[in-house]
Amino acid sequence: MERTALTFLHRWLHEKGRLPLIIRGARQVGKTWVVRRLAELENRDLIELNLELEPELESLFVKNDPKAVLLSIEDILNRKVDPSKALLFIDEIQAKPHVIAKLRWFAEMMPELPVISAGSLLEFALGTYVMSVPVGRIEYLYLEPLSFEEFLMAHQKNGFVRLIKNFQWGDELPSIAHQQLTSLFHEYIIVGGMPAAIEKWIETRSLEEVGRVHRRIVSTYREDFTKYGAKVSPELMNKMIHFIPRSLGEKFVYSHVDKAAPLYAVQRALTALQKARLCHIVHSTAANGVPLAAEINEKFLKVIFVDVGLCSASLELSLTQIGSTEDLTLVNKGAIAEQVTGQLLRTVFPLTQNPQLYYWVRLHQEKGASAEIDYVIAQGTLPVPIEVKAGATGSLKSLHVFMELKKLSKAVRVCSGIPNISQIEFKSTASTTVRYELRSIPFYLLGEIHRLLA
């Protein structure tokens, strides 16, 4: 099972002025695996220290001298370590947060030794110890669940990956390729992007076995709740994990999680789950320009879960329920399509950038005047609206409202149909003519969205 993050890691390993790297991501997304795979591919002597399994290893980092640290490691391993041929991997570093601050010394005093650290609950540690980590002395890599292209690579469908990477507007996509890619995408919706679930699906082709993996992953998440801090209620987070898959595509209302719980307690629970990267907030933005974060409306937000497969398991979906485009439209009112779109949009960000998602909502006093755009992304210096349609077609009413207000020239419809560019023209509320270009992109091409918008 290959990850596109390995391409970045290869480049990082050989670049001049390389900095220690911290991999951030939810539990079970494959952080440890990519480091081990990197060491294997690069024929590096992997020095792996797990500070959660062996907390006593913390004593190795008492001094700020990397040479002294390496000597201590050699004593423990009872072997010589060549820094230029090794790779130091500090896993579960959040268990001993002060070690994060020690990483800077490797960049300054032993640059020949590549250092990577990772941790499932790293966000909590970084929030507490961020002042101890000098800016410009470390680099971050954000790892998400497998993208659809990675899902295809895991299935040895490299021909489809090449087709996706090389598709250009004007190419005639064979109908059989479209059908097979759509079918594989339906599998992705059920299995999701968690490496263990994909591995089990490839091995057994049993949704029952995949479901067992999904339940085990969620149980692992729940076991971590007590580590989030005394001020966060594990009971509320349990309710939140159950609630999020059932509220996809809707405005997130705190009171709907638990009507009896205080607002601040529910907010803390959501914040904690976001820090653990088990869910992601989709912020409302006015979308008048870039950056989209500059015009956030805190009163409106939506939430997606870390992985569509875990959502599907929570909603008890099966492949037989989404065997066609029409069935996908009916699943949770099409909200599962919005979940998977948001999840895949997070994978198109640069790996060194923390992904952020946005949507647009317009509320008006007049009945029937509300409008909502599922996602808004930045393409260069302009916002681009994205309407998610689980089927091949659908109403563009909200998109018309947005394009009239923002006076933009390009929009995206993510759907189950074939790739298509169409010119839209309609009469505005002021009886003027509004024109824009609509690019219809099938779900399986979402990973190429920026290229297909260029």
The closest alpha carbon to 189, from 126, 145, 219, 230, belongs to 145
The distance of Cα 246 from the centroid of its chain, to the nearest Å, equals 19
Instruction: Give me the mean pLDDT over the 230-237 stretch.
Output: 90
Q: Compute the distance between CA of residue 303 and CA of residue 283 in angstroms, rounded to an integer.
A: 9
- The pLDDT score that the predictor gives to residue 230 is 78
For the chain, the structural domain boundaries read 5-142, 150-453
> 253-310 pLDDT, tens per residue?
999 999 999 999 999 999 999 999 999 999 999 999 999 999 999 999 999 999 999 9
> Is the pLDDT score of 316 beyond 90?
no
Binned at pLDDT 50, 70 and 90, residue 330 comes out as: very low
* pTM, rounded to two decimals: 0.94
Binned at pLDDT 50, 70 and 90, residue 134 comes out as: low
The closest alpha carbon to 130, from 100, 173, 171, belongs to 100
Least confident of 160-169, 296-305, 364-373, 436-445: 364-373
Instruction: Give me the mean pLDDT over the 230-239 stretch.
Output: 91
Instruction: Give me the mean pLDDT over the 21-49 stretch.
Output: 97
Instruction: Give me the mean pLDDT over the 413-442 stretch.
Output: 93
CATH of domain 5-142: 3.40.50.300
Instruction: Give me the mean pLDDT over the 189-214 stretch.
Output: 95
To the nearest whole percent, how much of the chain has pLDDT over 70?
Answer: 92
- The pLDDT score that the predictor gives to residue 122 is 85
> Is the pLDDT score of 133 beyond 50?
yes
